[in-house]
Chain A
């Protein structure tokens, strides 16, 4: 299967006034088309840095990153990034918020706008298109943020603790929601989380990062039933055993 993303011996060291920080060390992994990968690790292990590298916000100091087989240069078009907070603009309507991404990357064309409207309809936000973010619940706002990201038609989606701002119940529902959307839209995605259960429930594969400097300590292929949702996975026996494996790994590094 096609490889959307490949990390080859990627390392990152950055400079601060108080010294040199080795954030990542010799990272090697790849993501295949339509694959959902979770990156789990203790806080400060450089999970977010991995995403920043893929999005082109930071350059690696060692190794190289291949996007669709080509070395990344400058802006990584084709990568959509979803942050921890929805960052919806208060002064724009829901529809206008979902168009913001297109506007910023200069793709405000008819077919793209139609696609946004279609996404709003498919994911139950059409009736709210003229409302303002403050009138929506946290889960709905996160869905709006996802559509804003999907609007630019990325091949690869990056989710950075995208659910941690939500309360627990909403979070379980939104995880299901986003999982279904990702599957339905046939996207590949990398999700970063510190929540082991959430990471297992959503992914085809889990990559565990060690403490700083972050390096891959485990790369586990998950084997769940084909159409189990994240919520259903949580109550399966396989889930518990994956959880325990990763938990032990975490413990060893603490």
Chain B
């Protein structure tokens, strides 16, 4: 069978096939070039506009000013604030995921409990969690803990609902199969239900990492001690738009990197799982 594959690989491609592949390649390159051009155009227009005075760089900053703010990291402590936001997001994310899965597991285990909790979960899920901000600060204190609880509040309920609806929708035929071998409920969960929903889990984590970041920034707005959220609020108050815009751009990059991290973990885990 392997030999067949190799043969196929070394086969001389037909002219049509070569043309087709070339076309695909060309399109891919074109998309990437356009993407880079758009980015460059925005930067150039922004910068030229700022120099010419058509754009007020005091209000919208400018690429060169953002660049200078980035280089000035020793004085404005950018790395420290990035670190704080990253740390808070990670703690909130990991806590939200583990707690969420655990609670979803408990509710899967006891359908009675799940039915009892259903309306509460729906209401809590619909509630804009930001409204809890002041309450959280009073309950746990205005520090990193409040920011983490905020991140948790935003990501936890979604995780529970997503995972639970996955778990309870496991194909009944698989469950019957397991029951014919007299599997225990725990075995059914660990050997069938959980691995069956590995993809659901990672889809959930991909949403969660973004939600945790939202929670952390909202928390930092309120607590105002440290982190990128704090820099944005602080910069806005003292009208240092360079700092605000720099923080926003760093935040965008951070969000993309965190998402990429989850995708990477997914690939590793799936590969390990399917060997």
Contact = CB atoms under 8 A, between A and B. Distances in A.
Interface of A: 55, 57, 75, 77, 80-81, 83-85, 87, 89, 91, 93, 100-101, 103-105, 132, 152
A75 B182 contact: yes
B198 to A, nearest CB: 8
Q: Please name the 5 residue pairs, one residue from A and one from B, whose CB atoms are nearest each other, closest first.
A: A81-B180, A104-B181, A104-B183, A87-B177, A101-B181
A85 B187 contact: no
Interface string B184-195: 000100011001
Given A57-B179, A83-B177, A84-B173, A104 B187 contact: yes
A104 B178 contact: yes
Given A84-B173, A132-B274, A100 B191 contact: yes
A53 to B, nearest CB: 13
B261 to A, nearest CB: 23
B177 to A, nearest CB: 4
B176 interface: yes
B139 interface: no
Contacts of B191: 100, 103-104
B182 A104 contact: yes
Nearest to A107: B181
A93 B275 CA distance: 9
Interface residues of B, number: 20
Contacts of A57: 176, 179-180
Interface of B: 171, 173-174, 176-183, 187, 191-192, 195-196, 198, 273-275
A57 B183 CA distance: 12
Most B CB contacts (10 A, CB to CB) among A85, A91, A104 go to A104
Contacts of B180: 55, 57, 80-81, 83
Interface of A is mostly: loop
Contact of A105 (B183, B192, B195, B275): B183
A85 B173 contact: yes
Contacts, number: 44
A8 B22 CA distance: 73
Contacts of B192: 89
Contacts of A103: 191
Given A77-B182, A87-B171, A104-B187, 5 more contacts: A80-B180, A81-B180, A83-B173, A83-B176, A91-B195
Contact of B182 (A83, A91, A105): A105
Contacts of A81: 177, 180
B199 to A, nearest CB: 10
Contacts of A77: 182
A105 B173 contact: no
A55 B275 CA distance: 34
16 contacts: A55-B180, A57-B180, A75-B182, A80-B180, A83-B173, A83-B177, A87-B173, A89-B192, A89-B195, A89-B196, A91-B273, A100-B181, A101-B181, A104-B191, A105-B182, A152-B181
Contacts of B176: 57, 83, 87
Contacts of A85: 173
Contact of B174 (A87, A105, A132): A87
Nearest to A130: B275
A77 B180 CA distance: 9
B172 to A, nearest CB: 10
Contacts of A100: 181, 191
Nearest to A84: B173
Contacts of A84: 173
A200 B173 CA distance: 26
A50 to B, nearest CB: 14
Contacts of A91: 195, 198, 273-274
B194 to A, nearest CB: 11
A89 B274 CA distance: 11
A2 B17 CA distance: 67
B250 to A, nearest CB: 39
Contacts of B196: 89
A55 B183 CA distance: 13
A57 B198 CA distance: 28
